[in-house]
Amino acid sequence: MAHSTAHHSAFTFVRSEFIDALNATVQEFEHTVTGAKHFHIASENDENVFLVGLKTVPTDSCGVAHILEHTVLCGSERFPVRDPFFMMIRRSLNTFMNAFTSSDWTAYPFASKNKKDFHNLLDVYLDAVFFSRLDELDFSQEGHRLEFEEPENSESDLTFKGVVFNEMKGAMSSTTSVLWQTLTKYLFPNNTYHFNSGGEPTDIPDLSYQDLLDFYRTHYHPSNAVFMTFGDIPAETLQAEFEEKVLSRFERLEEQVVVPNAKRYFSPVRVQEGYAAEEVKEDASHVVIGWLLGESIDLNQQFEAQLLSSVLLDNSASPLLRVLEGSDLGRAPSPLCGLEDSNKEMSFMCGLEGVKQEDALQVEALVVSSLKDIADNGVPQSMVDAMLHQLELSQREIGGGSYPYGLQLILAGLSTAVHSGDVIAQLDLDPVINDMREKIKDPQYIPELINRLLLSNAHRVTLTLSPDDALEARRNAAEKDRLSQIKAALSDVEKEQIIARSAALKERQVQVDDMSILPKVGLEDVPARLPEYDSAKVSANLPITFYPQGTNGLVYQQLVIDLPELDEEETQYLPLFSSVITELGIGEEDYLAVQERQAQVCGGLGASNSIRPVIADRQSLNAYFILSSKALVPNVKAMTELLTDTMLNVRFDEVGRLKELVAQRRARREQSITGQGHSLAMAAATSTFSGLALQQEKWGGLSGIRSLMALDDAMKADDSAVEAVLAVFKRLHEKLLKANKQLLLVAEAQHETAIVDEVTKLVAGLPVGELDTNFALPAEDSKTKVAWLTSTQVNFCSKAYRAAFGDHPDVAALTVLGGFLRNGFLHRVIREQGGAYGGGATFDGSSGAFRFYSYRDPRLTETLADFDASIDWMLNEEHTEDMLEEAILGVIGSMDKPGSPAGEAQSDFYVQLHGRSLAYREAFRAKILAVTIDQLKQVTKTYLTEQNENVAVVSATSKREELEALGFTIQAL
């Protein structure tokens, strides 16, 4: 499919190429005057995406690029309102809006399926990025500021405040973040990657407002920018807006922003640093070995490094990962294992966590000797072929999930674009895959890569990061001491200035802007109908549902099994069973052979559970176990054989393998706490509202993490604990084999007959269901007030209220209420005034709970009080129809967010399976559109009451006494 190369007269056409694997044309243009690049991915897709990226190269860890990213979105020349970014989220049908700071670029992307909305957002984004006001008070709010703890009392203690300051306190509470920042500090001794682009909390207060302005002037210029777009709006139309709104006002900037290459070491470096921990355990160190490789914009170097990383680390059969998983020196492979290719120069990392500090050199020796062994003995050709197959699969797959497909493509090319590489080559991997296919025919190719890129590469850093139970106290003391010294040196005039700025900021935060200057969409722009998806039902040994979708040559297959009645042990271990069943052996094959087989024929196997309450009763459930895979069409037979073989013949005798998998799962779950503390707090607050909510907290909440830690410890101590779990798995498996089954297939329409015929034959061997009792959980309805304590510099707060459920008439108003409270009250008091990175409210339909939350929050009791204050605000203030419309638009936008073609088909299948028909969903949508302010007040009054309230927080151990005094039940990991 050819697309027009028509372009605006201010741009020069550079080249264009149709990429078969993406079914899209990638076009490159350059703005004649400024040199700004425009890459347009022309597609028939109606979800249009825009991104402007700027090369941002900090020279310290003050967080200038990150704070600028926040402050840029706080008002601009044509839209001089205080918070256009968050206001546009409410006035838009966007499918994605955000801004990112990477280590060497800052990007401002959005996406929308509505053309009017797309152009509205483009207008605001272009003005925000290139003509930002950068008000000093916004810098104080978003970056950092000094305030007295009692804002009007200059005798009270000073404190640091600021959204980014608290965001980074939260981010750097994550050991994985500390590990990454510390390793790159040593891997890159002299360029921008040496520094923390997000900002170190200890350094952020050093950034001045003038520094911010200077950085903006040199970096936020079209000559340092790349525009990237995707969708069915022609490049010429987009360029006309770029030229009119921005580019016509700039000349070319002669001075280029560059990232110099890192100075290379002539011999390996070993370093040791610490991370904050509650207690010092002897086996809690991280040991990571990192190598600096070549440039990522050299596609051959990048692909060589990707292939090598995949061959060494892709799955448990990969030779280096196999050594790391099997080693007694540590608990699990490091979360940093793999290739980092988003920086200008790539790095390869591997190592272990849960290591004794004194064993660090043994870990290094193990890695180096394993690499020598692999280089000496080579790698089976089948394994190298399988990794190339995986790269081809990832190239062809149309993604979904949290990012629109077009944005995924843009992000895949962004780093290359920012560093002036070949974006079209980066997106069209078929030629380089074909080239690689020839290279790997040489059995010495992989050994030669190991020798060249790793073994003979002297730029190697071995980092040991060990727990330090005094680090947090030293850091807090240093901050306190710094603030005391600042206060002691303040003149009376300076004290008055701090008080005056606090008052001015507070005044600015409560001012009501004229929002009419911002463009908007209205309820009249909302599509009236939901999309319908074609599907065909095939009656065979197992019922088969086939969805024809544009999947770009892939087949998605899911075996869906009614979850049978389980005992308490089987229920508790269900998620663990699901996470390991595809990681074990099958029949005569051990798990290593199965991992190789998976890599050769499909994009991996996965298992999951889909459990939802029935519409009429929050305590009754529909529940399914799902075994999933995807493959290229020619591999459908091999994939289906693998799927059925796994279901029929999975082995439950690999004791050592289960121990490894539990240790790895524990490591991942422990590392996730500070990144998803708000979700964990909400799960804890909601846990007593239904049997499913309680069980989900035991599975995926902090209780679940604690249980997993205890299980891992028990398994390390005694193999009988492993045998006991395997015995539960066998019982679970036998019940699943006897349960009712069906199959879901998604592929392109032209392949339907061949795929269904092939699959029907292959699944005939699966036993027909003979169980008629279904999964159930004991009902639960009680109250809780719980505080979970862990190693964190910030808090995560939640209140939950038992509310209406299912098809109750109040559910629509409760769904709209979350956005209404966030937009009108919570965003201002929790984020802007309170300094948390985020906060809001949301209705959880699966548990019938209305939930408040805050994220990376410096406050605790004040935030809980703000949740209550928002209820008073809702009930006692007058509210406008505009505010209601914005809240409704937000709900509709999230309901209408498109997924990938396969993802949308799968979603349609499951909502119907759970009894939510298209008619039911359209009726609910109509109720959302009809919600009134009186209904919002009524549901607030009815449900958001003290007797319906649960409270949960995730906080620091140092807060124990304060929380006990407030009546919290204390829980610790």
Summarize pLDDT for 294-340 with one digit per residue, the tens. 999 888 899 999 999 999 999 999 999 999 999 999 999 999 999 99
> Which residues are paired to 743 by β-bridges?
544, 559
Same-domain status, 645 and 659: no
Q: What's the pLDDT band for 769 if we cut at 50, 70, 90? A: confident
The residue range of the domain holding 647 is 541-563+585-651+739-767
Furthest-apart CA atoms within the chain: distance in Å? 86
Same-domain status, 960 and 813: yes
> Which residues are paired to 630 by β-bridges?
556
Q: What's the pLDDT band for 945 if we cut at 50, 70, 90? A: very high
User: How far out from the chain centre does Cα 352 lie?
Assistant: 23
697 is catalytic: no
Same-domain status, 645 and 714: no
Same-domain status, 639 and 680: no
> What is the predicted pLDDT for the residue at 208?
97
Tell me the CA distances in angstroms from 547 to 46, 835, 936, one per residue in order.
21, 47, 39
Torsions phi, psi of 221, nearest 5?
-135, 140
Structure tokens at 239: 């360029």
Burial label for 740, CB within 10 Å (0-12, 13-18, 19+), is middle
Amino acid at 784: T
User: What percentage of the chain exceeds 70 in pLDDT?
Assistant: 99
> SS3 for 795?
strand
C-beta of residue 849 within 8 angstroms of C-beta of residue 693: yes
Taking residues 922-935, what's their average pLDDT?
A: 95
Taking residues 545-573, what's their average pLDDT?
A: 94
Q: What's the pLDDT band for 715 if we cut at 50, 70, 90? A: very high
Torsions phi, psi of 371, nearest 5?
-65, -40
Whether 56 shows a pLDDT value over 60: the answer reads yes
Whole-angstrom distance, CA of residue 964 vs CA of residue 952: 13
Same-domain status, 878 and 919: yes
Q: What's the pLDDT band for 539 if we cut at 50, 70, 90? A: confident
Whether 179 shows a pLDDT value over 60: the answer reads yes
Structure tokens at 593: 């052979």
Same-domain status, 938 and 822: yes
C-beta of residue 330 within 8 angstroms of C-beta of residue 353: yes
Whole-angstrom distance, CA of residue 875 vs CA of residue 9: 56
Structure-model confidence comparison of residues 633 and 846, the more confident one: 633
Whether 1 shows a pLDDT value over 60: the answer reads no
Strands 617-632 and 48-55, by their bridges, are unpaired
Among the residues of 650-718, which ranges form H helices? 655-671, 677-686, 691-700, 702-717
C-beta of residue 555 within 8 angstroms of C-beta of residue 630: yes
Among 159-173, 355-369, 700-714, 804-818, whose mean pLDDT is lowest? 159-173
Torsions phi, psi of 26, nearest 5?
-100, 125
Could you tell me if residue 694 is inside a domain?
yes
Query: Residues with Cβ < 8 Å from 520, sequence gap 6 or more?
Result: 91, 92, 120
For residue 513, give the nearest of 83, 101, 818, 953 by alpha carbon: 83
For 419-464, what is each residue's pLDDT tens digit? Answer: 999 999 988 888 888 899 999 999 999 999 999 999 999 999 999 9
Task: Give the number of other Cβ atoms within 10 Å of residue 170's Cβ.
Answer: 25
Where are the strands (E) in 638-718, listed by range? none
Element (H, E) at 969: strand 969-972
Q: How is the beta sheet containing 554-562 ordered, strand by strand? A: 536-538, 544-548, 741-747, 554-562, 617-632, 605-614
Whole-angstrom distance, CA of residue 155 vs CA of residue 171: 32
For residue 831, give the nearest of 802, 880, 801, 794 by alpha carbon: 794
Whats the size of the chain, residue-wise? 973
For residue 610, give the nearest of 547, 576, 679, 561 by alpha carbon: 561
Query: Quick one: angle between helices 811-821 and 881-895, nearest 10?
Result: 110
Could you tell me if residue 279 is inside a domain?
yes
Task: Give the number of other Cβ atoms within 10 Å of residue 264's Cβ.
Answer: 10
For 782-808, what is each residue's pLDDT tens digit? Answer: 999 999 999 888 899 999 999 999 989
Could you tell me if residue 2 is inside a domain?
no
Whole-angstrom distance, CA of residue 538 vs CA of residue 558: 15
Query: How many CA within 13 A on the CB side of residue 45?
Result: 27
Residue linked to tokens 């339907």: 752
For 63-105, what is each residue's pLDDT tens digit? Answer: 999 999 999 999 999 999 988 988 898 889 999 999 999 999 9
Whole-angstrom distance, CA of residue 963 vs CA of residue 958: 10
C-beta of residue 655 within 8 angstroms of C-beta of residue 722: yes
For residue 664, give the nearest of 612, 701, 712 by alpha carbon: 712
Could you tell me if residue 62 is inside a domain?
yes
> What is the predicted pLDDT for the residue at 2?
56
Could you tell me if residue 92 is inside a domain?
yes
Whole-angstrom distance, CA of residue 203 vs CA of residue 195: 11
> What is the predicted pLDDT for the residue at 401?
63
Could you tell me if residue 395 is inside a domain?
no
3-state DSSP: the chain helix, strand, coil percent, rounded to 5?
Answer: 50, 20, 30
Could you tell me if residue 481 is inside a domain?
no
Among the residues of 314-404, which ranges form H helices? 319-326, 360-377, 381-396
CATH number of the domain residue 343 falls in = 3.30.830.10
Whole-angstrom distance, CA of residue 480 vs CA of residue 494: 19
Whole-angstrom distance, CA of residue 950 vs CA of residue 799: 6
Could you tell me if residue 407 is inside a domain?
no
Query: Quick one: angle between helices 430-439 and 299-313, nearest 10?
Result: 60
Same-domain status, 805 and 728: no
Selected catalytic residue, list 28, 47, 69, 273: 69
> What is the predicted pLDDT for the residue at 140?
94
> SS3 for 199?
coil
Q: What's the pLDDT band for 768 if we cut at 50, 70, 90? A: confident
Taking residues 669-675, what's their average pLDDT?
A: 86
Same-domain status, 116 and 254: yes
Same-domain status, 348 and 330: yes
> Which residues are paired to 896 by β-bridges?
none
Based on its alpha-carbon atoms, the radius of gyration of the chain, rounded to whole angstroms, reads: 28
> What is the predicted pLDDT for the residue at 724?
96
Q: How many domains does the chain have?
A: 5
Same-domain status, 635 and 660: no
Taking residues 574-580, what's their average pLDDT?
A: 97
C-beta of residue 468 within 8 angstroms of C-beta of residue 277: yes
Burial label for 331, CB within 10 Å (0-12, 13-18, 19+), is buried
Structure tokens at 963: 């929380």
> What is the predicted pLDDT for the residue at 270?
97
Strands 617-632 and 605-614, by their bridges, are antiparallel
Taking residues 605-622, what's their average pLDDT?
A: 92
Torsions phi, psi of 704, nearest 5?
-65, -40
Amino acid at 2: A
Taking residues 487-500, what's their average pLDDT?
A: 94
Average pLDDT in the chain: 93
Taking residues 284-302, what's their average pLDDT?
A: 94
Q: What's the pLDDT band for 221 if we cut at 50, 70, 90? A: very high
Amino acid at 819: G
Same-domain status, 189 and 303: no
| Burial letters 103-126, b for 16+ CB under 10 A, else e | bbbbbbbbbbbbeebbbbbbbbbb
C-beta of residue 111 within 8 angstroms of C-beta of residue 266: no
- What sign for the dihedral angle of Cα 806, 810, 816, 820? negative
> Which residues are paired to 76 by β-bridges?
132
> What is the predicted pLDDT for the residue at 589?
96
Structure-model confidence comparison of residues 629 and 552, the more confident one: 629
Same-domain status, 712 and 815: no
> Which residues are paired to 347 by β-bridges?
292, 340
Q: What is the pTM of this model?
A: 0.89
Whether 400 shows a pLDDT value over 70: the answer reads no
